[in-house]
Amino acid sequence: MNFFKKTGKMALGSRLRMLTAKITDDASSIYYLYGIDMQPKWFPVFYVLSEQEDVTITEIATEIGHSQPSVSKIIREMAEKGLVIEKKDQADGRRNVVQLSDAGKEIILKIQSQYDDVNNAIEDISAQANHDLWKAIEEWEFLLEQKSLLQRVKETRKARESAYVEIVSYEPKYQSAFRELNVEWISTYFKMEEADYKTLDNPQPYILDRGGDILVALYKSEPVGVCALIRMDDPEFDFELAKMAVSPKAQGMNIGWLLGNAAIEKAKSMGARSLYLESNTVLKPAISLYHKLGFQKIAGRETPYERSNIQMKLVL
């Protein structure tokens, strides 16, 4: 167990597999001890069939929380041992149902003593333990159902990597990054248009000299994300939030969220009352981000971009 002392909780899966293997090996020996020819993995299916007759594979899978292919495989294995019978449902000939064979029903009688002895043995272990494993398992199952371990790791990773992200104001040295990041994402999903070239090739006259701003996201000092606030000559909107792009290698670092919030705060500091943006609904993560930032869909505005099929606004 020195390995687990070194690795700690990050080896949780390995430790649980080892514990499961120990219990499963004992379970096989326990079945043999009671003269029952059954594999431990069959038990959930066997138990359901011992309680009900003429059950479909779908119903069994739902009851025990397994996949249908997994249950189908177990049913085939049990059928080869002569423990179950699969037949057409008398009420609905389009579906198959499963029931225990006579040999399977004989096990119901033989296994009752095993149930009692195993339960008492587990109660004995519980009495000697400082913690209630059964309650802990139920609690972990509930918590993982609310949010998986994978999702929790993703969120932890995002928070850690976000700490290395710094949002800075545009400088001429970032012009190539501003252009390349935008060209990369636009070319991935759409095609570059005339309005793109004007803005990306000449950010100073088209954005900055007109009272706009550009923000750059640095990850460990490397530019990995950009966005612009372009001043609008429009009575309804002060700035357009535009040219937001994040490097594919920096996806999952929360950079879009950090850039969006920084742009909103920058717009407020410049006296803006509202923001406008254009996008395309094929960019589902981007649209989701804009909604989280507070933007709402609007309609009826003209756009210089062929790719734009959605316009949004944010009242500050």
Select from 98, 87, 102, 106 the least CA-distant residue to 49. Answer: 98
Centre a 10 Å sphere on the Cβ of residue 36 and count the other Cβ atoms it contains. 14
Q: What is the pLDDT of residue 85?
A: 92
Cα distance between residue 61 and residue 75, in whole Å: 11
Q: What is the CATH number of the domain that holds 232?
A: 3.40.630.30
Q: HSE of 4 in the Cβ direction (CA atoms, 13 Å)?
A: 11
Cα distance between residue 112 and residue 128, in whole Å: 25
Write out the two tokens for 40.
């431990």
Count of all residues that appear for the chain in the document = 316
Instruction: Identify whether residues 236 and 282 lie together within a single domain.
Output: yes
Burial class of residue 120 in the structure, from the number of CB atoms within 10 Å of its CB (0-12 exposed, 13-18 middle, 19+ buried): exposed
Instruction: Identify whether residues 132 and 170 lie together within a single domain.
Output: no
Instruction: Identify whether residues 198 and 110 lie together within a single domain.
Output: no
Q: How are beta strands 310-315 and 296-298 bridged, if at all?
A: antiparallel
Coil, strand, or helix at residue 191?
A: coil
Select from 142, 208, 141, 129 the least CA-distant residue to 174. Answer: 208
Residue where a domain terminates, one of 146, 172, 200:
146
The H or E element spanning position 207 is: none
In the chain (316 residues long), the average pLDDT of successive 10-residue segments reads 81 90 94 94 94 90 93 94 87 79 93 94 93 92 93 87 90 95 93 91 94 95 95 92 93 90 96 94 93 92 87 94
Q: What is the pLDDT of residue 288?
A: 94
Residue where a domain terminates, one of 96, 114, 146:
146
Q: What is the pLDDT of residue 7?
A: 85
Question: How many domains are contained in the chain?
Answer: 2
Look up the pTM and report it: 0.67
Select from 138, 46, 137, 140 the least CA-distant residue to 99. Answer: 46
Confirm whether 152 is domain-assigned. Answer: no
Instruction: Identify whether residues 186 and 262 lie together within a single domain.
Output: yes
Instruction: Provide the residue range defining the domain that includes 130.
Output: 34-146
Q: What is the CATH number of the domain that holds 80?
A: 1.10.10.10
Contact of 132 with 52, CB cutoff 8 Å:
no
Question: What angle do helix axes 68-80 and 43-51 make, rounded to 10 degrees?
Answer: 80
Q: What is the pLDDT of residue 1?
A: 60
Residue where a domain terminates, one of 146, 176, 206:
146
Q: How are beta strands 96-100 and 213-219 bridged, if at all?
A: unpaired
Residue 288 C-alpha from the chain's centroid: 15
